[in-house]
Amino acid sequence: LEAANVGKAKGAADRRIVADVFFTSGSGTPTFATADKGIFNNLWRMRNQSLGNPVDQGLPLTNGQVFDVTANGKTIKVMVIRP
């Protein structure tokens, strides 16, 4: 998460929250909803990089858009919230 600059330069707290979502227990895929561009844009870039896509291809712009991102074998759903 740090290498992907999730939460930007001072995003240690943001990265901890996202990491907690990745490592939550239970059945199903956890969903993380955020309006923070520094989080969802960089998670989108992580997603594209893992799929071999150009990292900035199709940055999420629509309210309610949901996408999967995988890190270290764990997958979460990210929901984009736009004001």
Q: What's the average model confidence in pLDDT over 57-61?
A: 76
Closest CA to 19 of 82, 69, 79: 69
Q: Is pLDDT above 90 for 30? A: yes
- Residue 27, C-beta contacts closer than 8 angstroms, at least 6 positions apart: none
Neighbours of 7 (CB within 10 A): 22
Q: Is pLDDT above 80 for 54? A: no
Count CA atoms within 13 Å of residue 83 on its CB side. 3
Quote the pTM value: 0.84
Segment 10-27, tens digit of pLDDT: 788 888 999 999 999 888
Q: What's the average model confidence in pLDDT over 45-59?
A: 82
Which residues partner with 58 through β-bridges? Answer: none
